[in-house]
Amino acid sequence: MNSILTDNGYFSFVCGILIFVTGIIIFINFLPEDFLKPGFVKDGIIIQDEQIFPGQSINGIMTITDVKKDTVIAISNPLSEILFRAEVKNPEGLTVYDSDRVTVASNTFKPGMVGKYNVLITNLGSKTTEITVNYGHHIYEENGDNPKSILDISAVCLIIVGAYLIIHTDFKFLSNTKKNII
């Protein structure tokens, strides 16, 4: 005995909507802050909402308590085309990270000791901008894999499968309707 749900494809349509919405919910709840910097766990803020002029440098301090993990410095600014120079000195004053081609992407270095590290960020661009500099580590370093990537993949797959079911069922329903009319 067939019901109206299976005859007209409404069951597939409803399942498609539920799968699609589940994918969107996973994406919205778990991934927005991680979307551009996957797996980044913020341990602290070095510089927050500071205006930096071309050629100017800003100094900040970060406290390292775990030397087993690589430390990540993430620079956020609204003008992504601006390059920065980032220099990090350990508590003894030795440079442990120095790069002239830093953009908003994460920059990783291995701290050698626990303590307060001096971070110097220089604006190499020709425009004034406002920056925030965070530090932390990648979550996948804790156990050797990246569990956030599983959420990334599953959310995208659910969205694609749900959209396929919605579209396929809708077109199938429309083609059956046209056949019934003719």
Q: What is the pLDDT of residues 38-62, one digit of tens each?
A: 566 778 888 888 898 999 999 999 9
**Does residue 74 carry a pLDDT above 70?**
yes
CB of 135 closer than 8 Å to CB of 69: no
Hey, what CATH class is 39-141 in? mainly beta
Percent of the chain at pLDDT > 90 equals 15
Percent of the chain at pLDDT > 70 equals 70
DSSP letters, 38-98, are TTEEEEEEEEEEEEE-TT-EEEEEEEE--SSSPEEEEEE-S-TT--EEEEEE-TTS-EEEE
CB of 50 closer than 8 Å to CB of 78: no
What's the one-letter identity of residue 146? N
DSSP letters, 98-123, are EEEEE-SSEEEE---SSEEEEEEEEE
What is the pairing mode between strands 57-64 and 115-123? antiparallel
Q: How confident is the model at residue 171 (pLDDT cuts 50, 70, 90)?
A: low
How far is it, in rounded angstroms, from Cα 56 to Cα 97? 19
- pLDDT for position 133: 87
Q: pTM of the prediction?
A: 0.56
**Six-digit token pair at 125?**
């661009």
pLDDT tens figures, 128-147:
888 888 888 766 544 555 55
The most confident of the ranges 3-12, 96-105, 113-122, 168-177 is 113-122
**H-type helices in the chain, by residue range?**
4-7, 10-30, 147-181
Domain boundaries along the sequence of the chain: 4-33+147-181, 39-141
